[in-house]
Amino acid sequence: MFLLFGFKTAIRILGSRPGTCQYCHQYAQHRVEERATKLTVFFIPLLTVRRSYSLRCGNCGQATALTREQQNAILA
């Protein structure tokens, strides 16, 4: 018998808000993204092992890392 383990990363868009980008200095829509890495067994996601948040510019695509508190404050 063998078990097939792996990891899968899923990106979910939690919301968006307009703002000025710190990279391209354009006023554009920014997406708040959640990146969740899950442990899989036979390609079935079982549990989340890592979760991170970022704010991505809709103009240039650059992302800034966010903490959970920052992400909650932006979407509140």
DSSP element (H, E) containing 49? strand 44-57
Angle at 53 between CA 69 and CA 17, to 5 degrees: 80
| Site for Zn ion contains 27 (CB under 5 A) | no
For the bound state, the minimum distance from the C-beta of residue 61 to Zn ion, rounded and expressed in Å, comes to 7
| Site for Zn ion contains 23 (CB under 5 A) | yes
| Site for Zn ion contains 60 (CB under 5 A) | yes
| Count of residues touching Zn ion (by CB under 5 A) | 6
Cα distance between residue 59 and residue 44, in whole Å: 35
- Residues of this chain that interact with Zn ion (CB under 5 A) are 21, 23-24, 57, 59-60
